[in-house]
Structure 1
C-alpha cells in the first residue's frame, strides 16, 4: 500500500509539472505572437537646439598692438681699467658692486712713489737740458764774435798787402815784404775759415741742446701723466658693477677693474618677425619712430614706462630671423641692464574692422553667424591681426550680425541655435521684467489696509506684500491682484 501511495503521489506531481510547463509555454508563445503582430510606432525626432555664445560684429577703428620681448641694455657702459701698475693704496667707499659715483669722483689711487721719483728725474733732466741750451747759445754768440774779429784781421792783412805792392811798384819796398804780407793775408783768411767752422759747431750745439730740451719736456710730460694715471676718476655719473679690486691689491696696467653703467641712458632691444617689421615701416620704407610701452613683471606688479623706436640692426645675425629693433627708454626708473621685458608697439590704425575671440575663427578663415530662424550660416572674413586671445578681422555685410564666439565640432551651417550673450540676456530680462506702477499715497494706504484686513493670508506672504507696497514702485500685478480680491 505504501508503494502504491507513493507511486500515485509521484504521478500526480509529474502531471502537475507537465501542466504548468505547458501553460508557461503557451503564455510565452502568446506574448511573442502579440509582439510580432504589433505595428512599429516611430516617434518623431525633435530637432536639437544648441545654446551658443555670440558676439555682435561691430565695425570699429582699432589700433593693433605689436608685442615683443627683449632685453634692457645700457646705451653708455664704460670698462673701468687701471691706467698704472702698482698697489692700490686708496679706494673710494662707493667702489663696490651697485655703488653710485658722480662724475669726477676719485675711484682709486695706485702707489705713486715710483711715478713721483720718475717725475723728479724728468725735472732734473729738464733743468740740465735748459742749462746746456743756455751754454750753447752763449758759445754761439762768442763764436760769432770770433768770426767778426777774424774778418777784421783779414781786412787789415789785405790792406797791408796792397800797401806792400804799391811800395814795391814805387821802388820803395821789396818783394820779400810783399810775400810776407801775402802770407799774413792767407793766414788771416784761414783764421776766418776756422772761426766759421767753430760758429757752425756752436749752431749745431744749440740745435742739439734744443732737441735735448724738447725730449726732456716730453719726458717730464710723460712723468706727470704717469703720476696722474695713478689716480682714477669717474668719467660720468653711474653705477658700478663687476668690481674685482680691493684696497691693497696689486693691479696691472689696463687691467679691467669694474664696469661703469649709466642708469639714465637705457634702451631695449627686441626681435620681431619680418611680417611684423613690414607693418612698422612708413611710406618711404623707413622704420617709423613709433612710441612703445615697456613693462617688467616684478613679483606680480608691473613696472611700466614709455619709449620710442630709434633704430634697427644693420644685419641679421647667423642663425636668426626677423629684425632686431632698438627703442630708447624715456624714464628708466626701476629698470636695469639685463632685465627681460615685454615691449608693446602701436601699429597704424585699421578701419572698418571687428575684434572677435580667436575661438570664433577657423583655419579656413570663416566664422559662423546667426541667420534667419536662428540658424547658423558660414561667412568668410579676412584675418588681419592676432591680439592675444582676440583676432582682428574684416568681413563684408556682417555689420550688426551675431557671430558665434566659441565654435565646436557640433556646430555648422543650418544648425538651429539659441544665442546667448550678456547683452541679449539683459534685453530679455528687461523685456520679461514685471511692469511697475507708482502709487499715490491714498491708493497705497488703501492697498495696505486691504492686505492687513485679509485674515486668510499667511503672515509671511502678508509681510512680503507689505514690503512691496512700501517701495516707490510697486509691481502692477500685485496691485491688480489685491484690488481684484477687494472687488470679489
Structure 2
C-alpha cells in the first residue's frame, strides 16, 4: 500500500508539471503571435522649432564713439637752468622733486658777488661817459660862440672895406687903405673857417661821447640782467621733477637744475587708424574739434576728464601708421604727464541707423529676420560701426522688425523658430531680470506631445508629476522645454 500511494503521488506531480509547462508554452506562443500581429507603434513627425532670442530693430540717431589709447603730456614745461655760473647760496624749500611752486617764487639763488662787482664797474663807466658828454656839450657850445664871434669880426672887416672903397670913389681914400682892408677881411674869413673847423671837431667829440654813453648804458643793463640771473624764479605755477642740485654746489652757465611742469595744462596724444581718421575729418579736409573723454582706471577708482581735439601731427612718422592726434583737456585733477589713458572720441552723429547686438550680425554682414509665420529670412545689412558688444547698422528693411539676437550654426533661412524677446518678457518691476527663468508659450499640439512623452517615459513618479504640472501651465520654463525636446529627439 505504501508503494502504491507513493507511486500515485509521483504520477500526479509529473502530470501537474507537464500541465504547467504546456500552459506556459501556450502563453508564450500567444504573446509572440500578438506581438507579431500588432501594428508597429509610431510617433507623429513634427518640424523641429528652435527657441531663439530676438531684438526689435528701431531706427534712431546715434553718435558713435571710438576708443583708443593715449598718453598724457603737458603743454607748458620749463627747464630750470642756471643762467650764470657760481656757487648755489640758497634754495627754495619747495625746490625738490614733486614740489609745487607758485609763479614768481624764488627757486635758486647763486652767489651774486662777481655779478655785483661787474655791475658796479659798469655803473662807474656810465658816470664817466655821462661826464664826457657834458664836457663835450660845453666845448661844443664854446666853439659855437667862437664861430659867432669870428663871423661878427668878418662882418666888421667887410664893412670897413666898403667904406674905403666909397672913400676912394670920392677921391678921398687911397689904394693902400683899400688893400689893407681887403687883407683884414681875408684874415677874418680865415678865422671864421678855423672856428668852424674847431666846432666840427667839438660836435664829433659830442657824438662820440653820446655813443660811449649809450654803450655804457647797454653794458649797465647787461650787468643788471646778469645780476638778476643769479636768482631763478618760477615763471608759472607747477610741479618740479628731475631736481639735481643742492646748496653749496657750484654750477656752470646753462646747467640744467630741474624741470617745471604745469599739471593744469595737459593734453593727450593718441593715434588713430586711417579709417578712423577718415570718419572724423570734415569735407574740407580739416580735423574738427571733436569732444573727447579721457579715463584712467586705478584699482576700482576711475579718473575722468573731458576736452577737445586741437591739432594733428604733420607727418605719419617712420615705421608708424595712421594719424597722431592731440586733444587739450579741460579738467585734469588727479592726472599727471605720462599717464596711459583710454580716450573716447565722439564721432559725427549717424541718422536713420540702429544699434543691435554684435552676435546678431554674421560674418557676411547679414541678419536673420522673423516673418509673420516666425520663419527666418536672411537680410543683408550695412555695418557702419562696432561699439563694444554692439554694432551700428543701416538696414531700412529691418526697421520695426525682430531679428535673431544670437546667431548659431543651427539657424538659417526658412527655419521655424519660437521667438523670445527678453526685453518684452521681463517684468518692469523685477528685482533682478537676469535671475528670472525664461518662459515660453506652447501651442496645443506641442504641449500634447510633451505630455504624452512624459506619461510614457520611465521616470520617478514625483518627477513625472512635477513635469506634468509645469506643462499644464500657460507658460513653461524654457529650460524644461529644451530638455524634453532634446530627449524626444525633435
TM-score of the aligned structures, taking structure 2 as reference length = 0.69
Residue equivalent to 2:223: 223
Per the alignment, residue 93 of structure 1 pairs with 93
CA contact (8 A) 1:51 1:420 kept: no
Instruction: Return closer, same or farther for 1:51/1:126 CA change in 2, 3 Å cut-off.
Output: same
Alignment of 1:185-224 (within 5 A): 185-224=185-224
* 1:121 to partner: Cα distance: 0.8
Alignment match, 2:316: 316
**Aligned twin of 2:53:** 54
Deviation for aligned residue 1:251: 2.7
Return the offset for 1:50.
7.6
Structure 2: runs of 5+ lacking an equivalent: 1-35, 428-437, 443-472, 474-490
**2:218 & 2:342 partners in 1: Cα distance?**
55
Whole-angstrom distance in 2 between the partners of 1:147 and 1:399: 107
Q: Deviations over 1:81-112 (max 9, x none)?
A: 33222222222121222221111111212221
Is 1:280 the counterpart of 2:280? The answer is yes
The offset of 1:408, in angstroms, is: 3.4
Within a 5 Å distance, the mapping from 1:80-479 to structure 2 comes to 80-155=80-155, 183-282=183-282, 286-370=286-370, 376-399=376-399, 401-415=401-415, 417=417, 419=419, 422-423=422-423, 429=439
SS in 2 for 1:68: strand
Does structure 2 retain, via aligned residues, the 8 Å contact 1:56–1:400?
Answer: no
Q: Deviations over 1:61-80 (max 9, x none)?
A: 23322222212222222233
* In structure 1, distance between residues paired with 2:165 and 2:194: 27
d(CA) in 2 for partners of 1:424 and 1:199?
110
The DSSP-based 3-state class of the residue aligned with 1:97 is coil
Change (3 A) 1:43 1:85: farther
1:119 Cα shift?
A: 0.9
Deviation, 1:54, is 1.6
Secondary structure of the equivalent of 1:83? coil
- Structure 2: how far apart are the matches of 1:390 and 1:220? 72
Equivalent residue pairs, number: 394
Q: Give the match for residue 449 of structure 1.
A: none
8 Å CA contact 2:74–2:262 kept in 1: the answer is yes
| Distance in 2 separating the partners of 1:240 and 1:429 | 64
Secondary structure in 2 matching 1:279? helix
Higher deviation after alignment, 55-64 or 150-159: 150-159
Partner of 2:26: none
CA contact (8 A) 1:354 1:392 kept: yes
Superposed displacement of residue 405, structure 1: 3.2
TM norm structure 1: 0.69
- CA 1:195–1:341: 2 relative to 1, 3 Å: same
SS in 2 for 1:362: coil
1:66 & 1:292 partners in 2: Cα distance? Answer: 10
Aligned-pair distance for 1:141? 2.5
The CA deviation string for residues 415-450 of structure 1, in whole angstroms up to 9 with x for no partner, is 555555645765975979xxxxxxxxxxxxxxxxxx
1:372-416 per-residue CA deviation (whole Å, 9 max, x = no partner) reads 765544332221211112222233443555433333334434455
Q: What SS does the aligned partner of 1:104 have?
A: coil
User: How big is each residue's C-alpha offset from its partner over 1:322-348, in whole Å with a ceiling of 9 and x where there is no partner?
Assistant: 333322212111111221111222333
* Runs of 5+ unmatched residues, structure 1: 1-37, 433-474, 476-488
Aligned 8 A contact 1:52 1:406 in 2: no
Work out whether residues 292 and 306 of structure 1, in 8 Å CA contact, stay in contact via their aligned partners in 2.
Answer: yes
Is the CA contact (8 Å cut-off) linking 1:356 and 1:392 kept in structure 2? yes
2:19 aligned residue = none
Conserved in 2, the CA contact under 8 Å of 1:57 and 1:400?
yes
Q: Is the 8 A contact 1:55 1:356 kept in 2?
A: no
Q: Map Cα deviations across residues 243-264 of structure 1 (whole Å, 9 max, x no partner).
A: 2333233333333333222222
CA distance in 1, matches of 2:330, 2:425: 46
Q: Could you tell me how far apart the structure 1 residues matched to 2:148 and 2:219 are?
A: 39
> Is the CA contact (8 Å cut-off) linking 1:49 and 1:418 kept in structure 2?
no
| Alpha-carbon contact 1:375-1:414 (below 8 Å) kept | yes
Distance 1:204 1:141 in 2: 13
Q: Which moved more, 1:235-244 or 1:316-325?
A: 316-325
- In 2, distance between residues paired with 1:371 and 1:127? 104
In the aligned structure 1, how far is the partner of 2:41 from the partner of 2:211? Answer: 125
Provide the rounded CA distance (Å) in 1 between the counterparts of 2:220 and 2:156.
Answer: 52
Hey, what does 2:70 align to over in structure 1? 70
- C-alpha distance after superposition, 1:264-293 (max 9, x if no partner): 222222222233223334565543333222
